[in-house]
Structure 1
Amino acid sequence: MVVESKLMLEVKAILKSFGNKYFNGDKLKRHKVIEDLNAYDEKLIQSLLNNKTINRDFVISLNGKEVFKLNEFIDMFQYKKFWQDSYTNYANKIGLTVGGKFIDECEDVVLDFPYKDTVLKAGMTKEDKQKEDLDPNEIFLNEIIAKDEIDVLFDKKIFKNVKKYSTEGIQPVSEFRKDDNLIIKGNNLLGLYSIKERFAKKAKLIYIDVPYNTDTDSFPYNDSFNRSTWLTFIKNRTEIAKELLDEDGVIAYQISFHQYAYLKVMLDEIFKNANGKHVMTFNTLVRHPDRNLTGDKEFNDVIEYTLIYSSSSNYKMPKISVAKTVDDYIYDVELGNYDKILELNGKNVEVYLPSSYRVTKTIGHATGLKTISVRGSIKEKNSSGRFYVAHLEKLVGSYPEGTIFKVPHMGDDKVPYRLFELPKNGNKNGLYYQGMPTSTDVTYKQYSNFLNFMNKYNTVNNEGVFEFRNGKKPEEYIKFFIELFTKKDDLVLDFFMGSATTQAVAMKINRRFIGIEQMDYINTISVPRLQKVIEGEQGGISKDVNWQGGGSFVYAELFEKNTGFIKDILNAETIDDLKKVYSIMLEVGDLDFRADLSKIDWTMSFKDNQKLLIKIIDKNQLYFNYSEIDDNEVSEWLTDEEIAFNKNFYEDLEG
């Protein structure tokens, strides 16, 4: 079965009006069309320009004159497959290009990928793969060629099963208030377009833990895309997410090494010049490096990356003020007998273990001895700093934390000696204020810039009561980004919601949030987890932030249309099951306009009919559009509260 866009059908209709001039039977003579276009054939061009769709998409106004983008229109005819079964003008050629032309057409070269000029709906579920070769074959829609189809795809969707979760339980809701949190079940690309008008430029932080595209089945969602498809998948979502981002906000992309380099190249292109910039990249230690040294595991990566981008080219990273403890400053001690003497650089250095001295004053300069903490007090440019780095720093790990070294005649002041202390307050697990190591710690850590909260909570997989293995980030890790980039009551958006860690943390530290998730576990893991947060669960960061419960959120589902039919077809077990689905499809579904329903033959095998029903479904009509809400055939499936909620959400934007 051939699926053709509206533009393709209209162009063919115009060409057929010339009789056999451009067709040999049903086969298009593309070379003849191109020849006449290049020759500016007046009748052909005038017929094309009289078409509203072509006029809208291929005509621009310059100095009051209308100009036909002839070269762009001719490009469509350069690709044979486009006129058979593809929406994308990259169908026949994939490779290195420059300026949109392939390497055999020019001298300069850049890295390119197919489909980048298209829209990919790309569902996250694995339902398709569970039925062997019954893949629904999600289509690529070219931004120009299939503009009408894309407009329909991106139209606002109807919300169904709307309810509010709060300390008072679960209740139906008929309006969306300005301070409400929102959770949406449905395809995240279409969900983003549905909230675009209400939340344009409102999100202060967009944090997304994207599918890593590892080509494995270790995750409960689809994690195996062709790379060019995956890049298209991320690009489509980034472009609409940018429209929701506050001018002073940032988007954070969590990614592993598998696609890191390709993702950064693409994002640098999207956020370049006036469109924003790459702010920085955080390196995240996600597992202990020693796991590679045990000999029983394959050598593996231990680092993930968080790419930070802003839509403002002038964005500056926020400053962090760290409250220093008294142990990090100057204090007085009373020394007992030294435990040993070391000869370091010609100096007799006395060593005092923690049991050989006592603190007599916690802050200020000594009335007797002047003692200085190592961290925050030693500058490597002076003699004290150079001596510490060259000789004492090497002793870290050989002596207990808090050991004091009395070094005579430093030469950088008039005191006869100076006291140095090995760092206190713990450094074994990298657990510092908001996860950031001090400069001294860096010198003896394997990674110079990392966040590591994995060791603080040994139950990350069960954090928030519900287990979500291989797909959950620690709450304290997400808290770092939210506190770094937002303030109280700011809006945080996560449209790869997963187990709802971002939303749980946002609720606990008083941020507003939006979450979008397509997978069905939203109702067995994500939402139940947030219910537990409302009840006051004490996992994750709860004790650290003194969380006592409270908060609320509105839950809504994109009203399934053909998405539901695909699920029903795949879950059918008998021919009778398929017949029931088909009868409902004929009544309220949207079928592909090229489908020949006369080919439906119930005497064929169950699997053949299953395949055929999937093929005739219009993959562009996955959910009901809001423009259909007043249709009787649609509204009868909605409650009065749901209809009121939709109209309030889309029409009363002030909330």
Structure 2
Amino acid sequence: MQIDTKLMEQVKSVLQQFGTKYMTEDGALKRNTVINDLDKYDKDLMVALLANNLIKDEYTEQIADTTVFKLNHFIDMFEYQEFWGNSFTKYANRIGLTSDEKFISDSDDVVLDFPYKDTVLKAGMTKEDVDKEVGADEPFLNETLAHSEISELFEPKVLVNAKRYDSDGEHESTKFHDDDNLVIKGNNLIALHSIAKKYAHNVKMIYIDVPYYFRKKIAEDTFKYNSNFQLSTWLIFLKNRLEIAKKLLAKNGSIWISINDEGMHYLKILADSVFSAKHFVGTIPRKTRNGKSDVPFNLSQDFDWLLVYTNGSEKDSVVGRSVKRKYYTTDDFPGRPWRTADLTSQRTIQERPNSNYTMINPRTGKKYPVNPKRSWAVAKETFDDWYSKGGIGFPDDYDFMSGSKPFRRVFKDEDDQKKQSSVPSDFLMNIAEELANGKATNRLGNDEITSLFSRDSFGYAKPEELLQRVINVSTTENDIVLDFFMGSATTQAVAMKMHRHFIGIEQMDYINTVSIPRLQKVIAGEQGGISKDVAWQGGGSFVYVELMEKNQGFLHDLQKATTTDELNAIYTRMKQGADLDFRADLDKYENDPERTSLSFEDQKKLLIKLLDKNQLYYNEANIDDANVRDLISDSDYQFNKSFYNGKESE
């Protein structure tokens, strides 16, 4: 049977009006005939097609009161509908480097291009999702499909297995409160869209340690998830996620993206396009190791980077820090502790002639000549006003005071009213006074995981000190912190210890063997990482949920299959209960002799391609449908009503 989109069903109904001109007697499309007549602008065919409202809505555009038929896009849809070209193992469309809308194999002029404006790459995080030729074993969804199919992918999903973890252990959860911490298991792109309405513009800081881009597979690529993408696929994968992340980020919030040297400049250009270059905050270096000898070009690249963006403007205090200062308490200013600050300007007396004067201490009469290269920051005519308000002090006024220059007096109550101080871009490196050299390297993160679990539980975790510093300069207590590449839950652990709310999203199964157990240990008061520094004694809670799998369950089964018999058994179940890709012709699949001659891995990939990736999870909008409601426990049903609607079910 042929699995059609709603749009293709409408197209076929129109073409059937022409008898057997465009359709065979058994209902098959004569694609070449249709395409040839469209190329010739066949009047009867085009009038019939445009009379259909769905086709008209999808493939026309109003320009200067004229209806324009986007013919090329419509023809593309016909070509794309073919079952993966004439092969089970090829894509109908490619994406990435093009020139004049032709790929680099056809031209010497190369540009980076995303030819389909609605391109979406859901991309599972497992290594099994990777295809050697294109980087991920799934189709790109683009404007050749009806928008209804695109939007369905991003509808909120049903949440199941809801549990609350607190100091008393694990409990079934039927309610979700706005100040609850949240952990979601499932595809992060789909999960982000599921929480988009609830958390829109409410997340103060996003930290993500994305899969790094490598030009070639290297020994350091020991991540449990997929981190070897083709460049174009990697860019699309991140583009989709950054676009929805931007919608979650508060106006004065910030997003911090960890990235390696090879991928940083590609990601910078991509992030500029998503957030705009004017919202680029800065590039922060981070030391990852203390040198290596066997390296390309004999240069040990010992740093990776954090790219920082915001939705705010340059005037917003997107980052800031509290500074520990020394204050004096004196009898002449009772109840008003004060500190000293520089009273000179970087400009010369030629540049500031009104500040070219000898400053005289009104109390003692001692004279302080101006430095010709650094004029006073206070003009002569405003000196009396500053002094009368206590804004200027002299070292000869106090026995305990050292120094030979007048100073600007700043009162503590004035500091308390100001915003946080600015942050230098080397704040992740300049830690000598507080931490041993290199303590924010990858080794420390690995050691922290080793102290909690076995050494092989998770590789290349970021250290808690790194997240502590980022969270400290970008948030205040009770702000929401999001990490949708949750990994070993470093971000969430630090957020909890620093009294921030958090959201974590992770697809990989180690969420239940590493991430959740780690957070349980944090609740119990574990003393690793930053615990002693922040005087952490335990407490807190979080809610855990999973996206309710639909086709995702079949996908897991296919990935775990080890024999052809297992694949055949899964296929039988798929025909009964799975939503199949609209391009799939099952008769061709079952009867094509080439299929049985494919290797086991290729047969597995082919079955994965049959699954409709729009239907990996159940949509929350269908939760009251009988065939969906029967699959959900009463407690999970109540939790979904609470999470999405803010109320209990009736």
**TM-score > 0.5 by shorter chain:** yes
- 27-36 or 77-86, larger mean C-alpha shift: 77-86
* 1:220 equivalent among 215, 218, 224: 224
Which letter maps to 2:537?
Q
Aligned position for 1:137: 137
Percent identical among aligned pairs is 41
Answer whether contact 1:489 1:511 (CA < 8 A) is retained: yes
Give the distance between the partners of 1:136 and 1:233, measured in 2 at CA.
Answer: 10
- 154-163 or 465-474, larger mean C-alpha shift: 465-474
* 1:645 equivalent among 639, 645, 650: 639
Answer whether contact 2:183 2:542 (CA < 8 A) is retained: yes
User: Does residue 233 of structure 2 align to residue 235 of structure 1?
Assistant: no
Give the distance between the partners of 2:313 and 2:614, measured in 1 at CA.
Answer: 36
CA gap 1:197/1:446 in 2 versus in 1, 3 angstroms: closer
CA gap 1:59/1:452 in 2 versus in 1, 3 angstroms: farther
Answer whether contact 1:292 1:298 (CA < 8 A) is retained: no
User: Does residue 252 of structure 2 align to residue 262 of structure 1?
Assistant: no
Answer whether contact 1:595 1:616 (CA < 8 A) is retained: no
Answer whether contact 2:158 2:548 (CA < 8 A) is retained: yes
* 1:82 equivalent among 80, 83, 87: 80
CA gap 1:294/1:254 in 2 versus in 1, 3 angstroms: closer
CA deviation after TM superposition for structure 1 residue 473, in Å:
1.3
User: Does residue 155 of structure 2 align to residue 155 of structure 1?
Assistant: yes
CA deviation after TM superposition for structure 1 residue 149, in Å:
1.9
Q: Could you list the runs of 5+ residues in structure 1 that have no partner in the other structure?
A: 330-362, 366-371, 383-409, 420-432
CA gap 1:94/1:116 in 2 versus in 1, 3 angstroms: farther
Count of residue pairs brought into register by the alignment: 553
Aligned position for 2:358: none
Aligned position for 2:612: 618
Which letter maps to 2:224?
P
- 541-550 or 640-649, larger mean C-alpha shift: 640-649
Aligned position for 1:509: 498
Aligned position for 1:455: 439
Aligned position for 1:177: 177
Give the distance between the partners of 2:154 and 2:424, measured in 1 at CA.
Answer: 45
* 1:596 equivalent among 586, 599, 612: 586
Answer whether contact 1:562 1:617 (CA < 8 A) is retained: yes
CA deviation after TM superposition for structure 1 residue 234, in Å:
0.7
Give the distance between the partners of 2:273 and 2:253, measured in 1 at CA.
Answer: 19
Secondary structure at 2:266 match in 1: helix
Secondary structure at 1:156 match in 2: coil
CA deviation after TM superposition for structure 1 residue 379, in Å:
9.6
CA gap 1:56/1:412 in 2 versus in 1, 3 angstroms: closer
Aligned position for 2:377: none
Q: Could you list the runs of 5+ residues in structure 2 that have no partner in the other structure?
A: 86-90, 329-336, 349-370, 375-394, 396-401, 405-419
- 1-10 or 544-553, larger mean C-alpha shift: 1-10
Which letter maps to 1:139?
P
Aligned position for 2:323: 322
Give the distance between the partners of 2:553 and 2:159, measured in 1 at CA.
Answer: 15
Give the distance between the partners of 1:27 and 1:456, measured in 2 at CA.
Answer: 60
Secondary structure at 1:53 match in 2: helix
CA gap 1:504/1:633 in 2 versus in 1, 3 angstroms: same
- 631-640 or 293-302, larger mean C-alpha shift: 293-302
Report the TM-score when normalising by structure 1. Answer: 0.71
Secondary structure at 2:120 match in 1: strand
User: Does residue 518 of structure 2 align to residue 529 of structure 1?
Assistant: yes
CA deviation after TM superposition for structure 1 residue 251, in Å:
1.5
CA deviation after TM superposition for structure 1 residue 126, in Å:
1.4
Give the distance between the partners of 2:207 and 2:13, measured in 1 at CA.
Answer: 47
Give the distance between the partners of 1:364 and 1:78, measured in 2 at CA.
Answer: 72
Which letter maps to 2:495?
A
CA gap 1:79/1:604 in 2 versus in 1, 3 angstroms: closer
Give the distance between the partners of 2:311 and 2:555, measured in 1 at CA.
Answer: 37
Which letter maps to 2:99?
L
Secondary structure at 1:645 match in 2: helix
User: Does residue 529 of structure 2 align to residue 548 of structure 1?
Assistant: no
Give the distance between the partners of 1:156 and 1:516, measured in 2 at CA.
Answer: 15
CA gap 1:304/1:378 in 2 versus in 1, 3 angstroms: farther
Aligned position for 2:300: 300
Answer whether contact 2:622 2:628 (CA < 8 A) is retained: yes
Report the TM-score when normalising by structure 2. Answer: 0.72
CA gap 1:29/1:471 in 2 versus in 1, 3 angstroms: farther
Answer whether contact 2:483 2:503 (CA < 8 A) is retained: yes
Over the aligned positions, Cα root-mean-square deviation in angstroms equals 4.8
CA deviation after TM superposition for structure 1 residue 650, in Å:
1.6
CA deviation after TM superposition for structure 1 residue 380, in Å:
9.0
CA gap 1:635/1:210 in 2 versus in 1, 3 angstroms: same
Answer whether contact 2:246 2:275 (CA < 8 A) is retained: no
* 2:489 equivalent among 478, 491, 500: 500
CA gap 1:592/1:292 in 2 versus in 1, 3 angstroms: closer
